[in-house]
Amino acid sequence: MTYAELAPPARHLGPSRHRPAAPPRSARRALHRTVASIEARTPAHRDRAVDGLRALALLAVPTGHWLLGGFTLDAHGGLHNASPLSALGSLAPLSWFLQLLGIFFLVGGYASVLSYRRTRERGGSTAGWLRGRVARLGRPVLGVTAVWALLIPLLSALGVPGDSLRTGSTLVIQPLWFVGVYTVITALTPLCVRAAERLGAWSAAPLLAAVAAVDFLRYGPYAEAVPSWLSVLNILPGWMFAYQLGVSWGEKRLGRRGAWLLLVGGTALFAALLLAFHYPASMVGVPGEARTNSHPPSLLVLALAAAQSGAAILLRDRIGALLRRPAMWAPVVVINLSAMMILCWHQTAMFAAAATGAPFGELAGLTTAPDSFAWIAARAAWLPLFALLLVAIGRYAHRFERPWGTGTTRSSGLRRAAAGLLAAGFAAFALGWA
Is residue 16 predicted with pLDDT exceeding 70?
no
Per-residue 3-state assignment (H helix, E strand, C coil) for 266-300: HHHHHHHHHHCCCCCCCCCCCCCCCCCCECCECHH
Question: Taking 60 as the threshold, does the pLDDT of residue 257 lie above it?
Answer: yes
Long-range contacts (CB closer than 8 Å, 24 or more residues apart) made by 151-155 = 152/426, 152/429, 155/355
Question: Is 214 in contact with 230 (CB distance < 8 Å)?
Answer: yes
Q: What are phi and psi of 325, to 5 degrees?
A: -80, 125
Q: What is the mean pLDDT of residues 200-212?
A: 97
Cα distance between residue 328 and residue 104, in whole Å:
20
Q: Does position 25 have pLDDT exceeding 80, yes or no?
A: no
Q: How many CB atoms lie within 10 A of CB 165?
A: 22
35 found inside a domain: no
Q: What does the pLDDT read at residue 187? A: 94
Answer yes or no: is 288 within a domain. yes
Domain span at 152: 47-430
Per residue in 47-102, pLDDT tens? Answer: 999 999 999 999 999 999 999 999 999 998 999 999 999 888 898 999 999 999 99
Tell me which of 207-211, 411-415, 423-427 is least confident.
411-415
Is pLDDT at 2 greater than 80 in this prediction? no
Q: Which residues share a beta bridge with 294?
A: 297
Amino acid 195: pLDDT: 97
Most confident of 81-90, 222-231, 233-242, 404-413: 233-242
Q: What pLDDT is attached to residue 406?
A: 55
Specify whether the CB–CB gap between 167 and 81 falls below 8 A.
Answer: yes
Q: Is residue 402 part of a domain?
A: yes
Strand pairing class (79-82; 70-73): antiparallel
Would the pLDDT of 342 be above 80? yes
pLDDT at 8 over 60: no
Band of pLDDT at residue 299, cut at 50, 70 and 90: very high
pLDDT at position 432: 76
pLDDT on residue 27: 81
Share of the chain above pLDDT 90, in %: 71
Contacts of 249 (CB under 8 A, 6+ apart): 106, 109, 110, 201, 313
Give the pLDDT score at 28.
84
Domain membership of residue 93 (yes or no) is: yes
How many domains in the chain? Answer: 1
Q: What is the pLDDT of residue 410?
A: 62
Confidence at residue 176, expressed as pLDDT on a 0 to 100 scale: 86
Q: Does the structure show a pLDDT above 70 at 272?
A: yes
Q: By the 8 A CB rule, do 299 and 266 touch?
A: no
Long-range contacts of range 212-218, CB-CB < 8 Å, 24 or more positions apart?
A: 212/299, 215/298, 215/299
- Weakest mean pLDDT among 89-98, 308-317, 396-405: 396-405
Residue 352 placed within a domain: yes
Mean pLDDT, rounded, for 328-333:
95
Task: Evaluate whether 308 touches 263 at the Cβ level (below 8 Å).
Answer: no
Query: What is the model's pLDDT at position 37?
Result: 92
The per-residue pLDDT for 409 is 60
Round the average pLDDT of the chain to a whole number and report it: 89
- The pLDDT score that the predictor gives to residue 405 is 59
Cβ atoms of 431 and 423 closer than 8 Å: no
Answer yes or no: is pLDDT of 131 > 50: yes
Summarize pLDDT for 165-191 with one digit per residue, the tens: 999 999 999 888 888 899 999 999 999
More confident residue, 363 or 27: 363
Whether 234 has a pLDDT exceeding 80, the answer reads yes
Per-residue pLDDT, 408: 55
**Separation between Cα atoms, residue 152 and residue 140, nearest integer Å:** 18
Backbone angles phi, psi at 80, to 5 degrees: -135, 145
Q: What is the pLDDT of residue 415?
A: 74
CA distance linking residue 175 with residue 127, whole number of Å: 26
Specify whether the CB–CB gap between 369 and 108 falls below 8 A. no
Residue 225 included in any domain: yes
Strand partners, 297: 294
pLDDT greater than 50 at residue 156:
yes
Report the pLDDT value the prediction gives residue 433, as an integer from 0 to 100: 65
Domain membership flag for residue 254: yes
Q: Is residue 7 part of a domain?
A: no
Tell which wins on pLDDT, 164 or 228.
Answer: 164
pLDDT of residue 357: 95
Average pLDDT over residues 333-346: 94
